[in-house]
Amino acid sequence: MKYVLPDLPYPYDALEPYIDKRTMILHHTKHHQSYVDKLNSLLEGSPLLGKPIEELIATPQNIPADIRSEVEHNGGGHANHSFSWRSLSPASEKSPSSGALLNAIDAAFGSFTNLQEVFSTLSASHFASGWAWLCVDKSSKITVKATADHQSPLTEGLVPLLVLDLWEHAYYLKYQNRRAEYISAFWNVVDWAQVNKRWGKSQGTMLSAKNNRI
C-alpha cells in the first residue's frame, strides 16, 4: 500500500495569524506531497512500501544501501511533517495546564518558562534546515533535541512529544529571515492536549518494555 498525504486536522487558515494560510497550503500540498511521492517512487516494488512510516525511519539498516539516504530523507520528511501537523492546534491552551506532563517538565527544566527558553534558543541557533523536538528518553526524562534535514529522534530511541519545523519553507513567506519571530509565534498554536496524550502513551510503552526485561 502506498503512502498518502494525510489530511490536516484543521483548515489551512486555522492557525492564523501565527502561521498563515498561504504558507500552510504550500507547505502541505507541495512540500509534504513531494516527500510522499518520492518515497513511493523509491520503494515501488519493495516489501518496505507501506510499512508504518515511523518503523521505516527508525530502522534505516533495513533499507537497501543504494537507496537508503534518499528513503531516509523523503521518509523522514513524510514522517516529520505528519507528526508536525498533529502537534499544532488553533485551540491551543498555550501551556500544559497540570498533571504528570507538567511535573515532568518542571523536573527536567525547573519550569515551563525555562523549557520554552531552552527550546527556543536551541531552535534559533540550529544551523540550516532541520527540526527541534521535545522528547522522552529511555529514563522517562523529558529533553530537547535538534535534528538536521529530516532526521528523526526515533533513530536514537527517543520518543517524540512535540516538534517545530525549522526548514525555511515553514515560515519564510510570512517571517522572511526572522526565525525568532516564527519560533515565538509557534508557542501560540501548540496542541498541548496532544502532547499530553503522547506523554501518557510513552510512559505506558516504557513501563511495558521495562516489565518485559524483568
Q: Tens of pLDDT along 3-43?
A: 999 999 999 999 999 999 999 999 999 999 999 999 999 99
Residue 208 confidence class, pLDDT cut points 50, 70, 90 = very low
- Express the helix, strand and coil content of the chain in percent, nearest 5 each: 55, 10, 35
Q: Grid coordinates representing 40?
A: 513511493
Mean pLDDT of all residues in 167-172? 98
Average pLDDT score over residue span 62-74: 97
Q: Please report where in the chains the cell 499530553 appears, as a residue.
A: 196
The beta-strand segments (E) located in the chain are 130-136, 142-148, 159-165
Q: How far apart are CA 159 and CA 202, in angstroms?
A: 7
